Structures are given as structure tokens and as C-alpha cells.
Amino acid sequence: RGFSSTSASLAQSATRRITVVGGGQMGSGIAQVAATKNHNVTLVDVSQESLDRGKAYMSKSLKRVAKKKFADDATAQTKFVDDVLARITLTTNATEAAGNADLVVEAIVENIKVKQDLFASLAKAAPESAILASNTSSLPIAKIAELLSAERKERFIGLHFFNPVPQMKLVEVVRTNETKQEVVDSAVAFVKAIGKEPAVCKDTPGFIVNRLLLPYMMESIRLLERGVASARDIDTAMKLGAGYPMGPFELCDYVGLDTIKFIVDGWYKEGQGLQGNKIFESNKTLNELVKNGHLGVKTGKGFYEY
Ligand code: NAI
């Protein structure tokens, strides 16, 4: 299988065959880091084009990693990239891919219905012992698992990675009221085995990071609207005064203003206790930027121009 018997990370983790569904930004990153740590990975997407795009993301990112790892050795760099990619199988058949998986991580579109349907079909195919996980940022984990049997719900968990996956060390491990302790333990072991740091938390809106970050971002925008300071000065203040690596507006532009709006609008409407909370009421500035297609770094303009 190509597993190294001396790998300490694998010894800690019983999950070796990983199926990642959704080969976009997040899914290809998750596939890449798992394969880098010697897991056998199958990456699933809806079309060959999306798979090709996912593979291109991974190659590019792996080449960067290889350059750092093997500075002056072009042969070693190529071998590293080829070896990691060789552990990743690409397919458009999700149920077949789930058929012998120890862990399935879903990273498809952020749509509750589409995710529920996907898991309903994965549950028919995956081994009973498999752990099913979602990488959702904003949807309740228990709701994604709603159509599944009681046994499947016990083995269902959130594995919330951060963008860009190869660089970001954190994974939030999100347990529902149904998730079994042994499943939490396996998920934590998997996260450590792929070189990340787990933070375990309950299934509540925004988990830990986004629950604290979104109010901060929204209040930053309101500070700007009230004319307290410019975006540049607010960013400078938070970087130098609070020690944050990015200011709130740089971060908003990086995350994507459409994503921020999607999350706060969702919570404001039906946020499991957050609905109607003024902190999450979207405002004129954010709405107009999104309406005009200024979504941040990815469109070349948001609060700043790129
Ligand atoms: P993306 O749009 O880059 O990728 C989604 C991929 O899923 C696309 O390639 C699409 O073709 C594929 N897909 C859609 N429906 C599918 C289906 N039924 N079966 C198989 N593949 C399907 O999106 P991104 O940014 O990678 O996000 C994916 C998930 O990760 C979302 O749930 C999002 O909330 C979550 N997430 C996103 C973060 C981000 O910063 N972009 C951070 C953390 C989580």
C-alpha cells in the first residue's frame, strides 16, 4: 500500500483510507495534506473538469512545499510531488469511493439540502465503521446528519479546516449530542496524524473561530461606517495594537465578502439562538460591495483593491 511502517503518525491513527468529497479549494487541500502524511486518499467531484482543477491546485501547492523541503534538489522535489499525488485517486463516483473508506470528509457546496442528500447516499455505501465528517463553516453538523440512522449519527462529526488548508494548522473537531466519544478520539487522532492541531467543540453556530470572528468583522465594518477611522487605520491598529497578523478588512477581503454575508445572513435568520441578534444584521456597506461583485481578493476588489 505504500504505508511506511515506521510512521509514528499512522500508528496513532486507525483512519488510513480517506475519501474527500468536493475537490475545490478546501477539499483538494484536505486531500493533499492527508496524502502528504501517507494516507490513501480518494478525491471525488462532480466532473472530470473539477477534478483536473483540484489536481492542479494540489500540484501547485505541493511544488511550493517541495521547494522549501528540498531546497537545491530538483530530483527530490519532483519525487516528493509525484509520490504524494500517486496516493490520491480521482473519481466522480462518490458512493464507490466511500465503499472502503475509514473516514469520509465532505467539502462540497455550502447547501444544506445538497449535503443531506450526499450523506444519505454515502451512508448506503460506506462501511458501518466509517466516520462521516463535514467541513461546513456555517451549517449545523446535526442538521447535515438529519436523514441518517442513529448508528450513523453516532459516527458523524464536523472536521472544520481553515483556508488555505496546507498552511493553516487548526482543525475544529465538532461533536454533536449524538457523536460517540470514540469517534471524537479517532477524529482528534486523525487531525494530529496529518500534522494539524485539533480544537474540540460543540455543534453551535460558528463553532469557536467564526463565532468570535464574525462579530469582530461586523463591528469593524460598523466602525468604518461611523467614520471612526479608515479601513487602513483600523487594520494597522489591530495588527500593531492587538497583535493580529491581518487587520479585519484584510481578513474580510481574504475570506470573501460573499461568504461573510452568507454566514451572517444565515445566522440572523435562523441561527440556533442567534436569530435577530443585531451583531449579525448585515449592513449597507457589506451589502453594496457584494451586490456590485466586489467580493475581496478573489475579484480584485473588496475593501481594498488588488
Ligand atoms: P469550492 O466551491 O471551492 O469547492 C466545492 C467543490 O465541490 C466544487 O469543486 C464542486 O464541483 C464540488 N461539488 C459540489 N457538489 C458536489 C457533489 N454533490 N458531489 C461532489 N462534489 C461536489 O468550495 P470550498 O471553498 O472548497 O468550500 C467547500 C466547503 O468547505 C463548504 O462547505 C464550505 O463552507 C467549507 N469551508 C470553506 C472554507 C473557505 O474558506 N473557503 C473554510 C472552511 C470550510
CA atoms 184, 268, 248, 253: torsion sign: positive
Please indicate, yes or no, if residue 256 is contained in any of the structural domains. Answer: yes
H or E element, residue 201: strand 197-202
Spacing, Cα 75 to ligand 1 middle (Å): 33
Cβ contact 263:252 at 8 Å: no
Query: Is there a single domain that holds both residue 155 and residue 182?
Result: yes
Read off φ and ψ for residue 227, nearest 5 degrees.
Answer: 75, 20
Of 233, 234, 221, nearest to 288 by C-alpha is: 221
Residues lining ligand 1, CB < 6 A? 21-27, 44-46, 50, 94, 107-110, 114, 118, 135-137, 161-163
Of 20, 21, 25, the residue with max ligand 1 atoms within 8 A of its CB, to mutate for a pocket test, comes to 25
Query: Is there a single domain that holds both residue 114 and residue 221?
Result: no
Indicate the number of domains in the chain.
2
Cβ count within 10 A of residue 55: 18
The type of residue at 256 is G
Please indicate, yes or no, if residue 303 is contained in any of the structural domains. Answer: no
Instruction: Kindly name the residue from 138, 160, 186, 294 that is annotated as catalytic.
Output: 160
Please indicate, yes or no, if residue 149 is contained in any of the structural domains. Answer: yes
C-alpha cell at 28: 483538494
Query: Is there a single domain that holds both residue 152 and residue 266?
Result: no
The domain boundary residue, chosen from 142, 175, 202: 202
Please indicate, yes or no, if residue 81 is contained in any of the structural domains. Answer: yes
Spacing, Cα 145 to ligand 1 middle (Å): 17
Question: Containing domain of residue 245, as a range?
Answer: 210-295
So what's the pLDDT on residue 12?
47
Spacing, Cα 227 to ligand 1 middle (Å): 36
Grid coordinates 469517534 are at which residue? 183
The domain boundary residue, chosen from 174, 202, 230: 202
Q: Is 172 a catalytic residue?
A: yes
Query: Is there a single domain that holds both residue 23 and residue 41?
Result: yes
Spacing, Cα 109 to ligand 1 middle (Å): 4
Q: Is 210 a catalytic residue?
A: yes
At 86, which CATH number? Answer: 3.40.50.720
Please indicate, yes or no, if residue 96 is contained in any of the structural domains. Answer: yes
So what's the pLDDT on residue 3?
40
Residue owning the nearest CA to atom 44 of ligand 1? 137
pTM of the model: 0.93
Please indicate, yes or no, if residue 283 is contained in any of the structural domains. Answer: yes
Cβ contact 297:254 at 8 Å: yes
**Is the reported ipTM for this assembly greater than 0.95?**
yes
Please indicate, yes or no, if residue 59 is contained in any of the structural domains. Answer: yes
The Cα-based distances of 66 to 49, 63, 84, 102 in angstroms read 25, 5, 11, 28
Residue owning the nearest CA to atom 9 of ligand 1? 24
Query: Is there a single domain that holds both residue 247 and residue 151?
Result: no
Rg (CA), the chain: 20
Query: Is there a single domain that holds both residue 188 and residue 40?
Result: yes
So what's the pLDDT on residue 110?
93
Give the contacts of 284 (CB within 8 A, at least 6 positions apart): 225
Residues 116, 288: Cα–Cα separation, whole Å: 32
Query: Is there a single domain that holds both residue 253 and residue 147?
Result: no
Query: Is there a single domain that holds both residue 18 and residue 124?
Result: yes
Please indicate, yes or no, if residue 306 is contained in any of the structural domains. Answer: no
Which atom of ligand 1 is nearest to 163's Cα?
40
The Cα-based distances of 180 to 15, 123, 139, 152, 177 in angstroms read 16, 17, 20, 10, 8
Query: Is there a single domain that holds both residue 38 and residue 106?
Result: yes
> pLDDT digit of tens for each residue in the chain (306 aa)?
334 433 444 444 556 999 999 999 999 999 999 999 999 999 999 999 999 999 999 999 999 999 999 999 999 999 999 999 999 999 999 999 999 999 999 999 999 999 999 999 999 999 999 999 999 998 999 999 999 999 999 999 999 999 999 999 999 999 999 999 999 999 999 999 999 999 999 999 999 999 999 999 999 999 999 999 999 999 999 999 999 999 999 999 999 999 999 999 999 998 788 999 999 998 999 999 999 999 999 999 999 999
Which atom of ligand 1 is nearest to 114's Cα?
18
So what's the pLDDT on residue 149?
98
At 232, which CATH number? Answer: 1.10.1040.10
Query: Is there a single domain that holds both residue 148 and residue 260?
Result: no
Query: Is there a single domain that holds both residue 144 and residue 235?
Result: no
Query: Is there a single domain that holds both residue 156 and residue 140?
Result: yes
The domain boundary residue, chosen from 175, 202, 229: 202
C-alpha cell at 117: 442528500
The DSSP secondary structure of 209-222, one letter per residue, reads HHHHHHHHHHHHHH
As to burial, measured by CB atoms within 10 angstroms (0-12 exposed, 13-18 middle, 19+ buried), residue 291 is exposed
